[in-house]
Structure 1
Amino acid sequence: MEQNVLITGSTGFIGQHLLYEQLPEYIKGHKQGKIYLLIRRQDGRDGAAFIRGLLQNAWTPDFLQQGSVSHAMDYIQIIEGDIRDRDLAKMLKKHIPDRVRLQVFHSAGSVNLHVGQAAEQDVFHHNFLGTQSFLHALQSYDCRFMFISTAFSSGIRTGLIDDHVLRSPSDVYRNPYEQSKAAIETMIQAYGAKKQMAIQIARPSVVVGRLLTAPLYYTSKFDVIYGWGRFFWMMKEKNTGDGIRIHINPSSGMNIVPVDYVAKACLRLSRTNRSQLNIVQTQSIHHAEYLSRILDAVGFTNYAFVDKKPIDLKGLEKIYYRSVGSIFSPYLTGPCYEYDTSALNQIMADIPPIDIPASIEALLQFAVAHHFEEQQIHAAWSRAQAACHGS
């Protein structure tokens, strides 16, 4: 079968795993065509060398370690550009033939969980306007367009959340990021209907390191719950001795999913006619359970969970509630909800259940071992790039 694939955000965490999952099909000859990677230009970064580094480093998936990087690169073409470029349509036309069906995975965008005008402008320009521009650039292609959204685009709601949240959109969101994702979903559905473009929306929940594909626990981004853990790791390193009362909703929890599961689910979703899919675990984990495991992993012991925010804030508490707490408290104190995973369970029927709680400490220990510094992960890519150039 001949099919070209276009991935945005391939230098990001989910994007690189979308690449990892696609490559074997082309290398083994199950698909004909190429994988095109739209990579934003950065000073001092060679896009092709960066991707070669992703394919040959200590954390490259084992299933890709057997083959030649040069052979794998035969199926990849780098397009340096931005989804907001005015000449993007011309650039894509130059590199990607429009006679072959094109599968698009759009995962590029800003993950800015802050509130306020600056954050609102950031996600509006990078996420909403960027996606809008990207769609217009694809008008001449016969393509299926998958948008990697977030399970939190459903906004703040209670009860069981199904895949078709757009039927009853929320009017309450925790931050502009969630709201921008919901707005994009509405926009691309309308665009697809108008232009007769097949649209799919994949909504992963909180994404963590690999738990299905060796080497396990790898992540290239220390954000979201890693960022929460990093705060307490830093406080432990400062050894102030301060304790903290952490405000949570004891009856609620967080849905956490590994990145390799997300990538596999996206690929399988692309082979169906489903328009929307929440990529989540069957059950969320109570906040007290996974947060205590994070704190154990980073070695912070002087804490207590409380169901009301303390009024008499002390030293460390003041720092927490005006920094990471201001970002994460809306998630930790929100109402109880779960997801309907019946469709996802069918698509992923052969994947064994993942014990997320039992893996939390190992996931955070990976972060601690790298001092929560993404530069340490990128340094391994740089060494791999140097080795590639030297060979």
Structure 2
Amino acid sequence: MNIILTGATGTLGSQILFSLLESRWETLEKIYLIVRKKKRVSEHIRIMTMLDSDSAPAFIRENRNELTDKIAVVDAQYLLRPDIFLQKGTRYYFIHSAGFVNLSVNPETKPEIFKENLTLTQDIFRVYKDYLAKFIYISTAFSIGKLDGLLDNNYIEKEQSEYRNFYEASKHAAEKYLVKAGQEANIPIQILRPSVLGGNIMDSPSFFISKYMVFYLFAKFFYKRPTSEFVRIQANHDSKLNIIPTDYAAKVVAKVFDTDVTQLNIVNSKGTNIFTGIAKILETVNFKNFKLTQELMDTASDFESTLEQFYYETIGVHLTPYLTAKPYEWDTALLESILPIPKYNLEDYLVATVEFAKNNGFRNQRW
């Protein structure tokens, strides 16, 4: 088996790489990692640094030399030149995990977001078409936009009316393009959609995540802020925060990518109540002067403090559409049949993940 993986140094991509190396050890012939150079650090050194890090699973560190024989690191400048590093006549599983996560609603950001998430995906599929055994696209469980109720795995045929941001819209557009293009080229397409990613729950180190995003940014924003300033946080009391541990999501990808599953939401079967979750996050970072409310705040005259205004002008712009969303949940029957979701206390997990991030100064991994 030969695999191509993009995003191998990313939050989910790195864990997918670890899971593939461990679970597909015997059948894996070669895995091609398409990686960007970072400043003066080569793509090869970035991958080796990641494999040698304390955050890598024990299996990876203990079998590093043997594993590196199965890895080919490719400079990302050759992403659209597969003829340079792939062999004609060989068929590859392409797992496209790289993506541009930007929740901005500023119209000026739309071209860049669509270029990174849609146009690049289209270009990749076109140039790799003759090499593919299958194309696996890592999307997001929120690509369907503003819906409520119980969601199943089929987003492609669902009617959609409104997206919360250009990120959701671009990912959904990429999904639709791939399904149509795959049918025309007779190439199997698989769409995998993880929910909000949190720290490890199955692997060591516990609660580790390589990059702090989404609810972590919320925690980081209020960490060490002066509690003398009062902040009201708008949220829908009936909504839930759905977090899936990154190591679990990666294991699902590694387990399902060569099956006949066509669409799969990798989400938690349960969610943490928004009001409870926000309160737990803020208490963990020791921010106490807040109030959770369902009241709308639309104008500057509504702000009760400078900090409150700053919140709504920065991360609040991106997060409020999710915090105020109508309640919805996902049907996880198919997911559970592939790999049962670990059982753990959601609130304890949320506190532990934020505590882990706080203890590490909310610093992302440098590889």
Instruction: Name the amino acid aligned to 1:17.
Output: Q
Partner of 2:8: 10
Gaps of 5+ in 1: 382-391
Partner of 1:333: 324
Once the two structures are aligned, what percentage of the paired residues are identical? 32
Query: Structure 2 length as normaliser, TM-score?
Result: 0.95
| Inter-CA distance 326–56: structure 2 relative to 1 (3 Å threshold) | same
C-alpha contact 2:94 2:132 (8 A) present in aligned 1: no
18-27 or 189-198: bigger deviation: 18-27
Query: Structure 1 length as normaliser, TM-score?
Result: 0.89
In structure 2, how many angstroms separate the alpha carbons of the residues matched to 1:109 and 1:142?
Answer: 20
Instruction: Name the amino acid aligned to 2:220.
Output: R
In structure 2, how many angstroms separate the alpha carbons of the residues matched to 1:32 and 1:162?
Answer: 32
Q: Secondary structure at the match of 2:142?
A: helix
In structure 1, how many angstroms separate the alpha carbons of the residues matched to 2:349 and 2:103?
Answer: 25
Partner of 1:389: none
- Any residues of structure 2 matched to 1:161-240 within 5 Å, and which? 161-235=151-225, 239=226
Partner of 1:324: 315
The answer as to 2:238 corresponding to 1:248 is: no
Instruction: Name the amino acid aligned to 2:5.
Output: I
| CA root-mean-square deviation | 1.6
Instruction: Name the amino acid aligned to 2:271.
Output: S
- Any residues of structure 2 matched to 1:288-307 within 5 Å, and which? 288-307=275-294
Instruction: Name the amino acid aligned to 1:7.
Output: L
Deviation at 1:241, TM superposition (A): 0.9
Partner of 2:84: 94
Partner of 2:71: 76
The answer as to 2:135 corresponding to 1:145 is: yes
- Any residues of structure 2 matched to 1:100-111 within 5 Å, and which? 100-111=90-101
Q: Secondary structure at the match of 1:139?
A: helix
Deviation at 1:234, TM superposition (A): 4.0
Partner of 2:53: 57
| Inter-CA distance 5–355: structure 2 relative to 1 (3 Å threshold) | farther
C-alpha contact 1:25 1:31 (8 A) present in aligned 2: no
Deviation at 1:66, TM superposition (A): 2.1
In structure 1, how many angstroms separate the alpha carbons of the residues matched to 2:321 and 2:342?
Answer: 32
Q: Secondary structure at the match of 2:329?
A: strand
Deviation at 1:57, TM superposition (A): 1.3
In structure 2, how many angstroms separate the alpha carbons of the residues matched to 1:140 and 1:271?
Answer: 18
C-alpha contact 1:254 1:284 (8 A) present in aligned 2: yes
In structure 1, how many angstroms separate the alpha carbons of the residues matched to 2:56 and 2:255?
Answer: 21
Deviation at 1:366, TM superposition (A): 1.8
Instruction: Name the amino acid aligned to 1:58.
Output: D
In structure 1, how many angstroms separate the alpha carbons of the residues matched to 2:238 and 2:227?
Answer: 31
Deviation at 1:361, TM superposition (A): 1.4
Q: Secondary structure at the match of 2:302?
A: coil
Instruction: Name the amino acid aligned to 2:316.
Output: G
In structure 2, how many angstroms separate the alpha carbons of the residues matched to 1:126 and 1:32?
Answer: 29
Partner of 1:123: 113
The answer as to 2:31 corresponding to 1:35 is: yes
In structure 1, how many angstroms separate the alpha carbons of the residues matched to 2:211 and 2:326?
Answer: 27
Deviation at 1:138, TM superposition (A): 0.7
Partner of 1:386: none
In structure 2, how many angstroms separate the alpha carbons of the residues matched to 1:116 and 1:369?
Answer: 33
C-alpha contact 1:98 1:142 (8 A) present in aligned 2: no
Deviation at 1:93, TM superposition (A): 2.2
In structure 2, how many angstroms separate the alpha carbons of the residues matched to 1:281 and 1:352?
Answer: 9
Deviation at 1:62, TM superposition (A): 2.4
- Any residues of structure 2 matched to 1:256-271 within 5 Å, and which? 256-271=243-258
C-alpha contact 1:246 1:309 (8 A) present in aligned 2: no
In structure 2, how many angstroms separate the alpha carbons of the residues matched to 1:80 and 1:361?
Answer: 39
Q: Secondary structure at the match of 1:305?
A: strand
Deviation at 1:157, TM superposition (A): 0.7
Instruction: Name the amino acid aligned to 2:240.
Output: G
Instruction: Name the amino acid aligned to 1:220.
Output: S
Q: Secondary structure at the match of 1:140?
A: helix
In structure 2, how many angstroms separate the alpha carbons of the residues matched to 1:279 and 1:234?
Answer: 33
Deviation at 1:45, TM superposition (A): 1.7
Deviation at 1:136, TM superposition (A): 1.0
Count of aligned pairs = 363
Instruction: Name the amino acid aligned to 2:96.
Output: H
Deviation at 1:78, TM superposition (A): 0.6
In structure 2, how many angstroms separate the alpha carbons of the residues matched to 1:10 and 1:64?
Answer: 14
Q: What do the CA deviations read for 1:273-326 (whole angstroms, capped 9, x no partner)?
A: 111000001122110122111112211111111111356312221111111111
Instruction: Name the amino acid aligned to 1:329.
Output: T
C-alpha contact 1:26 1:75 (8 A) present in aligned 2: no
Deviation at 1:74, TM superposition (A): 0.8
Q: What do the CA deviations read for 1:193-234 (whole angstroms, capped 9, x no partner)?
A: 011111000011101111111111111111111111111004
In structure 1, how many angstroms separate the alpha carbons of the residues matched to 2:272 and 2:258?
Answer: 30
Deviation at 1:184, TM superposition (A): 0.5
Deviation at 1:272, TM superposition (A): 1.7
Q: Secondary structure at the match of 1:338?
A: strand
Deviation at 1:370, TM superposition (A): 2.2
| Inter-CA distance 75–192: structure 2 relative to 1 (3 Å threshold) | same
Deviation at 1:26, TM superposition (A): 5.2
C-alpha contact 2:266 2:335 (8 A) present in aligned 1: yes
In structure 2, how many angstroms separate the alpha carbons of the residues matched to 1:121 and 1:42?
Answer: 24
